[in-house]
Amino acid sequence: MWNSLLTPEFYNSILRATTPILFATLASGVAAKSGICNMALEGILLFSALFGVIFSSVTHSFLLGILLTMVVGGCIGLFMAFFILNMKTDEILAAIAINLIATGGTVLLLLAFSGDRGSSTSITNVSAPVLVIPFIQDIPFIGKILSGQNVLTYLALIMVVVMHLFIYKTPLGLKIRAVGENKNAAESVGISSRKIQYISLVLSGVLCSLGGYFLSGGYMNMFTKDMSAGKGFIALAASSMGGDTPIGGFLVSMLFGAAQAFANMMQLTTIPVELIQMIPYLTTLIGLAIFSYIVMKRKAKLSGK
């Protein structure tokens, strides 16, 4: 079992487990930066996992499939923004509605498209391809980790940098942060907070839909009922633990991914399974404790001066 920790497969499984959570974490981060808690990630993941399968099978193309899925993700974000911003619905209520629609709605749509209720086995979908990087793949050990991952895994990692630059280095990113920090102050200098929040929620939906596509076309090669299995909520936790920043969110989702992959490996030992299944959550708790301790220290230092 300990030898397994030294195999490239273990590190691959970390990256695989991290990818969907990372997309959703970034999605949660950008919404949070604009001052909205996007709790509908779970539902968006599930919807886009289903639509990824449907669109890629209809278009027979990965690119078209994922583009259309992103449109669906954006539309759900738009839908949510409309209710929250125009209709003044409570954001948590709106999110619960979307999550509930997702559990029932995906089954209904699945039934309509495939005649099945449990999984999309009768639909032939196009999964995101695996990318083999020449030269790098020849490096022993590391090559097997850095190369041969799913395209979407690479995209997720790239998106961390892109989102970081977007939020901290662009005018629009500045506006998003301004609205999130203080809506009235932002409005007073002529920023339309509604427009900015619309943009962040749509962006959030699009980012999250990439994670959903990966679930059914990359991680698995089919849609199965309720396959998001709480990943949206884990991402929500990861994002807030990482201070809603892309880099912080990335680190925490890697931690979650690693804890999950480690727990998966641990199941091969004779340690009781109940203990092992606690690992990811225990990691979260410990991580959270360390994190808030650091924040507290820093605050104490600042106020002390």
Where along the sequence are the contacts to another protein (CB under 8 A)?
1, 4, 7, 9, 13, 16-17, 20, 83, 87-90, 93-94, 96-97, 100-101, 103-105, 107-108, 111, 115-119, 121, 124, 215, 219-222, 224-227, 229-230, 260-261, 264-265, 267-270, 272-274, 277
- Over its C-alpha atoms, the chain yields an Rg (Å, rounded) of 20
Residue 131 phi/psi, 5-degree rounding, is -105, 120
Give the chain's count of helices (H) and strands (E): 12, 2
Residue placing its CB nearer to another protein in the complex, 72 or 167: 72
Residue placing its CB nearer to another protein in the complex, 170 or 269: 269
CA–CA dist 149, 133 (Å, integer): 9
User: How far apart, in Å, do the first and last CA atoms of the chain sit?
Assistant: 50
Torsional class of 89: left (φ above 0), alpha (ψ -120 to 50), beta (otherwise): beta
At 234, the amino acid letter reads: I
CA–CA dist 250, 262 (Å, integer): 18
- Closest separation in Å from C-beta 252 to another protein: 19
Residue placing its CB nearer to another protein in the complex, 118 or 129: 118
- Closest separation in Å from C-beta 302 to another protein: 39
- Closest separation in Å from C-beta 104 to another protein: 3
- Closest separation in Å from C-beta 301 to another protein: 41
Residue placing its CB nearer to another protein in the complex, 153 or 245: 153
Residue placing its CB nearer to another protein in the complex, 244 or 262: 262
- Closest separation in Å from C-beta 241 to another protein: 21
CB distance 227 to 220 below 8 Å: yes
SS3 122: coil
Residue placing its CB nearer to another protein in the complex, 40 or 163: 40
CB atoms within 10 A of CB 7: 14
